[in-house]
Amino acid sequence: MSFVTALETRRSQYALTDASPISDQEIADLVKKVVVDVPSAFNSQPQRAVVLFGDASQKLWDIVKETLRKVVNDEEAFKSTEAKIDSFAAGHGTVLFYDDEDVTKQLQENIPAYAANFPGFARDAAGMLQLAVWTALAEKGLGASLQHYNPLIDEAVAAEFDLPKSWKLQAQMPFGIVAQPAGPVEKQPAETRVKVFGL
């Protein structure tokens, strides 16, 4: 599968099962490989990832559910939220994406002329890593979606998995074999979004 084909295959898939076409070790190795290979400004490498399987993944979504239960006081309104969280928990695992803020702070101290730019550079690296992992999973036959329950869950998740204080949670990616493919989405034509000169 070419990169562009894999990119086309990558979609926000919400109906997941606890199955996988590849082993957990292969998934973990895949994420490690992508983390190492994804570029970053000044080769700063500020991005981190945590891969959760089994009970660890379930624990994450339990934390999300209980945290949101405290925020959504209406039990009836919470039912739809609970169903959504349960659909993520039903997957095979979850990738957590982090930004090591100590890396950015050190860069700001070392290269003050670019100090204002480094947080943006870190966000660029975060986006590249998330897309790369998402696409790599899709290429292996795993569906996924990108969720953002941070910062509500940050402290509880960091405590549960004993993560460094400098790691700031950016996103959560539940993954698994797709039970029901997502429907088509409307996309603006490239002609309205890309300008080409000198061709």
Cis peptide before 151 (omega within 30 of 0): yes
Residue 74 lies inside a defined structural domain of this protein:
yes
Residue 188 lies inside a defined structural domain of this protein:
no
Q: Is it the case that residue 75 has pLDDT exceeding 90?
A: no
Q: Tell me which residue range forms the domain holding 124.
A: 3-180
Cis peptide before 174 (omega within 30 of 0): no
| Per-residue tokens: 147 | 């969720």
Q: Could you tell me the pTM of the whole model?
A: 0.95
Specify the pLDDT at position 39.
98
* Total count of domains within the chain: 1
Q: Is it the case that residue 72 has pLDDT exceeding 90?
A: no
Residue 55 lies inside a defined structural domain of this protein:
yes
User: CB–CB of 172/60 below 8 Å?
Assistant: yes
Residue 199 lies inside a defined structural domain of this protein:
no
Residue 96 lies inside a defined structural domain of this protein:
yes
As to burial, measured by CB atoms within 10 angstroms (0-12 exposed, 13-18 middle, 19+ buried), residue 48 is: buried
Q: Which of 26-35, 99-108, 178-187 has the lowest mean pLDDT?
A: 178-187
Residue 192 lies inside a defined structural domain of this protein:
no
Write the CATH number for 168: 3.40.109.10
Per-residue confidence at 74, pLDDT binned at 50, 70, 90? confident
Residue 15 lies inside a defined structural domain of this protein:
yes
In the three-class reduction of DSSP (H, G, I as helix; E, B as strand; rest coil), residue 39 is classed as coil
Each residue of 76-128: pLDDT tens digit?
889 999 999 999 999 999 999 999 999 999 999 999 999 999 999 999 999 99
Each residue of 34-66: pLDDT tens digit?
999 999 999 999 999 999 999 999 999 999 999
Residue 105 lies inside a defined structural domain of this protein:
yes
